[in-house]
């Protein structure tokens, strides 16, 4: 309406571009790379609009740089914003009074510092909340919620790719005796040390989860029942020969079950759990496989 056709073209391009990127996210659900693309795109649009308006739109740099910290990681946002501010310097020098240049530059710098601090704290809080939601606070192993999610994921993968996957359920033998004799603090130390010992031996693709009390689960990815049995026996012997509690031998019993095509999450777990109780009924400190 004001006859500024170049600015109108830039604004139109920004709107069309953002809508296109939004549709791409809607279809592909790929947020990470698209967030960087969107940030770079609209930041370039802001710089172009400032140049086209002879720096009259310089104050658009404030909301655009702030928005970057909500779309990408704080360090990435800081880098993109810094590049944009450097790109704006020539037009500011040519079109803005010196005193106003300093004021705008200081304000933009403080704006970015504040945005970085807030975004960084939000990132750390989100990571901590994710850890609390999926990790056992005592041992650092995955909790039951994360275990259930992993089991469903592996069953779907097994149906699709026919990849062998096995489940190992283990339990500390006579754990109540340890608590009664040495106290619950020492019992907690046994759980922590056991989790650390198991974690050191597991392969990169395996997962360790604490199901509750002294019971743990190991998801052996890409392992058939024979491979999982070999892993379980290694772990049993490793625990038996380790000094988890001074002056007292600690052992574990284990049950192994491979995921069959007919298994769902419940039946797969029940097979491994039944094998565990079979190992306990046979005298403990041994491994049994599911029928």
Q: Centre a 10 Å sphere on the Cβ of residue 8 and count the other Cβ atoms it contains.
A: 13
Q: Out of 76, 100, 153, 214, pick the active-site residue.
A: 214
H-helix or E-strand spanning residue 50? helix 32-52
Of the chain, the percentage scoring pLDDT greater than 90 comes to 52
Is pLDDT above 80 for 160? no
pLDDT, residue 168, reads: 95
Tokens found for residue 215? 């019971």
- Could you confirm whether 214 is annotated as catalytic? yes
Please provide the average confidence, as pLDDT, over all residues in the chain. 90
pLDDT, residue 268, reads: 93
Give pTM, 2 decimals: 0.63
Q: Rounded CA gap, 170 and 14, in Å? A: 57
Q: Rounded CA gap, 59 and 90, in Å? A: 16
* C-beta separation of 6 from 49 below 8 A: no
Q: Which residues contact 20 (CB under 8 A, 6 or more apart)?
A: none
- The mean pLDDT of 135-157, rounded to a whole number, is 89
Residue 144 phi/psi, 5-degree rounding, is: -65, -35
Residues 34-74: tens digit of each pLDDT: 888 889 998 999 999 999 988 888 999 999 999 999 989 99
The region of weakest confidence among 14-23, 127-136, 202-211 is 127-136
Residues 176-231: tens digit of each pLDDT: 888 888 888 889 999 999 999 999 888 888 899 999 899 999 999 888 999 999 99
Is pLDDT above 80 for 132? no
Residues 81-123: tens digit of each pLDDT: 999 999 999 999 999 888 888 999 999 999 999 999 999 999 8
């Amino acid at each position: 309406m004001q006859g500024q056709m170049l600015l109108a073209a830039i604004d139109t391009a920004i709107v069309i571009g953002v809508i296109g990127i939004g549709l791409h996210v809607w279809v592909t659900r790929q947020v990470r790379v698209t967030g960087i693309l969107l940030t770079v795109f609209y930041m370039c649009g802001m710089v172009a609009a400032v140049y086209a308006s002879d720096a009259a739109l310089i104050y658009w740099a404030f909301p655009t740089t702030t928005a970057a910290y909500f779309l990408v990681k704080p360090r990435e946002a800081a880098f993109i914003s810094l590049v944009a501010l450097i790109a704006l310097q020539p037009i500011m020098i040519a079109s803005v009074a010196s005193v106003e240049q300093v004021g705008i530059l200081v304000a933009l710098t403080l704006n970015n510092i504040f945005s970085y601090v807030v975004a960084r704290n939000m990132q750390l809080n989100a990571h901590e909340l994710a850890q609390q939601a999926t990790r056992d606070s005592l041992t650092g192993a995955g909790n039951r919620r994360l275990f259930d999610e992993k089991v469903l994921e592996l069953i779907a993968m097994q149906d699709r790719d026919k990849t062998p996957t096995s489940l190992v359920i283990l339990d500390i033998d006579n754990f109540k005796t340890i608590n009664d004799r040495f106290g619950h603090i020492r019992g907690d130390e046994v759980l922590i040390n056991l989790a650390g010992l198991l974690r050191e031996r597991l392969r990169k693709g395996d997962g360790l989860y604490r199901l509750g009390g002294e019971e743990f689960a190991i998801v052996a990815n890409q392992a058939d029942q024979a491979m999982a049995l070999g892993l379980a026996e290694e772990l049993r012997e490793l625990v038996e020969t380790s000094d988890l509690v001074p002056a007292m031998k600690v052992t574990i019993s284990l049950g192994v079950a491979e995921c069959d095509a007919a298994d769902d999450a419940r039946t797969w777990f029940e097979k491994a759990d039944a094998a565990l109780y079979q190992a306990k009924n046979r005298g403990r400190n041994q491994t049994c496989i599911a029928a």
